[in-house]
Homo-oligomer: A and B are copies of this chain.
Amino acid sequence: MFTIHPTARLRPSPFYQAALAEGMTSASLYNRMILPTSFGDPEAEYWRIINGVSQWDVGCERQVQLKGPDAGRLAQILSPRDLSKCKAGQGKYVPLCNHRGTVINDPIMLKLADDLYWFSIADSDVWIWARAIAAERGLDVEVSEPDVSPMAIQGPKGEDVVASVVGDWVRDIRYFWFKETEIEGIPVAVQRSGWSKQGGFEIYLRDGSQGTALWNIFKEAGKPYGIGPGAPTTAERTESGLVSVGGDTDEETNPFEIRLGKYVDLDVDDDVIGIKALRRIHQEGPKRHQLGLILEGEEPAPLKFSWEEIRSGGKTVGEMTNCVWSPRLKANIGYGLVSVDCVPGDKVEVMRDSGASSAKLVELPFL
């Protein structure tokens, strides 16, 4: 816990002033932008996502835009998931891997047109990578960061709120599909998406000067539903089995280890980055896999910065990559990136600062 001061190297999102007005009390940095993480009442914020509707400044989910005749080709070269049947207006969750098959990001890819794609990224510099690949391969495509910033409306009442603003047509949008529209003259794309498993939408603001206006439209529309400010929470995302690339992954983590194998199509073209390594890893079988951990103990004991060693029978079998108190399971839960010899039901020990803690391995997701 420490204080951060502004510098030009760090950027606020278009919703930053709105987040300050809502009483933001803590934040993180993500793609060198400020990601609000709490508004002073973490418990209320958690239950609002589970039972109601929550409004998030996730402008830090930046877009890597591919535009031009070779945009589709570059999108496929970057993605080990087959995009050939993807239609304009459709999105797909895509793990991006480097040439060795290591996951370096896990964006939602949005196809706006045959020559226009966005990758709505997690926290790493995908632009410099995508530009390097495009240039090395001589592709006719411009890679840029457009003026596009997502705001999330999450929770079981999220659909009602979004429908009340843009119309009932959003109720028919399928998962990760989206539609471009305007809200009181503000250009947006509305996508069924969001970094929770409680339902909801992301509203991609396409005019950074309109952040506060857009925020307030949804804040007002959400009042009958009890909307309030919130943020992606470690508790909900862990209960739901969502992956945080860079948090749950290291320099060697491939998609098969972290339950993302279903988003890899091994028969895509050979020119897709990492596909040869991924075929080899798949054939040999991954060495590790990601399982849930339920720890003994009645008091919240979150993981801090570093992964914690997991032992079984006195031997190191892997590492705990996150740990958080689950309000619904009433236990500390986390993910283990462990040897494939470990299976759900096994008892293990986590070597914590406070000493060894007993834990049980379980299937993910928890809920």
Contact = CB atoms under 8 A, between A and B. Distances in A.
A129 B6 CA distance: 27
B246 A9 contact: yes
Interface of A: 1-12, 24-29, 32, 34, 37, 98-100, 104, 123-125, 128-129, 131-133, 135-137, 144-145, 234, 244, 246-248, 251, 273, 302-307, 321-322
25 contacts: A1-B3, A2-B25, A2-B26, A2-B27, A2-B34, A4-B27, A4-B29, A6-B303, A6-B305, A7-B234, A8-B247, A8-B306, A9-B247, A10-B28, A10-B305, A11-B306, A12-B306, A98-B131, A99-B132, A99-B135, A100-B131, A128-B129, A132-B132, A133-B136, A136-B136
B128 A128 contact: yes
Given A2-B3, A29-B29, A32-B246, 16 more contacts: A1-B5, A3-B3, A4-B28, A5-B37, A7-B244, A8-B244, A8-B248, A8-B303, A8-B306, A9-B28, A9-B123, A32-B123, A124-B125, A125-B129, A128-B129, A132-B273
Contacts of A27: 2-4
Copies of this protein in the assembly total: 2
A155 B56 CA distance: 44
A251 to B, nearest CB: 7
Smallest CB-CB A-B distances: 8 pairs = A99-B135, A125-B125, A9-B247, A136-B136, A6-B304, A8-B247, A3-B26, A29-B29
B7 A28 contact: yes
Interface centre among A3, A8, A234 (most CB of B within 10 A): A8
Given A7-B234, A131-B98, A251 B144 contact: yes
A8 B123 contact: no
A104 B128 contact: yes
Nearest to A122: B9
Given A123-B32, A125-B125, A244 B9 contact: yes
A1 B4 contact: yes
Nearest to A321: B8
Contacts of A234: 7
A247 B302 CA distance: 33
A34 to B, nearest CB: 7
A303 B10 CA distance: 12
A37 B135 CA distance: 37
A98 B304 contact: no
